[in-house]
Amino acid sequence: MASNAQPSNGSVTVSVEKVPNSAQLESPEVNQVDHLIRGYDGATIVLETMRSRLQAAKEQKSELPHERLKRLEEELDWHQHENDFYGICYDIYQRLYLKVIEVSQDIILQSFFEPRSTPNGDPFLYDALRRLNTAIKESQIDENQAEVAWKGYWSIPKTVDPSSSWI
């Protein structure tokens, strides 16, 4: 620990205890998917930045350059697959979101011109609801395909279900 006394060469040292900690670090949130990946010896950014993991990494012995390169290439591949999975899920969400907005605007616009229209009696409104239902079903199929691809990459049995909905 540094002291508050001035050394004879004229430089000033400051006690570490007196330096304010202005930046509070927020830990990343670990979710069920992260635990599932870890259960199958995988890695995610969130898991790798946990305090216990960082401490263990500091205590690790250094590895040979070719071993380190191989390990880093594997980690890069894992992260690319993780990013691909979440990218697919995001694209599915965006398509569904845009379709919901489109159909909702159609229904609202129709209600301004025909306030008494109902889905049962109005073919336009019925078609809008049918399109919305179709978009939801398509997103569920896409979501399932993304989940199967993700589980296939991590060699996770198809029967493992961390949550009822991935999106």
What pLDDT, in 10s, does the model give residues 34-58?
777 877 777 777 767 777 766 777 7
SS3 130: helix
Question: Distance between CA atoms of 116 and 104, rounded to whole angstroms?
Answer: 17
pLDDT in tens, 99-117: 888 888 888 787 778 767 6
Angle 137-141-32 (CA atoms, 0-180°, nearest 5)? 110
- Provide the pLDDT for residue 152: 87
- Provide the pLDDT for residue 105: 82
Helix (H), strand (E) at residue 37: helix 32-39
Confidence band for 75, pLDDT divided at 50, 70 and 90: very high
- Provide the pLDDT for residue 84: 92
- Provide the pLDDT for residue 167: 47
pTM exceeding the 0.85 threshold for the entire prediction: no
Q: Which runs of consecutive H residues, i.e. helices, occur in 40-162?
A: 45-48, 51-59, 65-113, 123-153
Q: Domain limits of the chain? A: 90-157
Range scoring the smallest mean pLDDT among 16-20, 43-47, 74-78: 16-20
Burial class from Cβ neighbours inside 10 Å (0-12, 13-18, 19+) for residue 6 reads: exposed
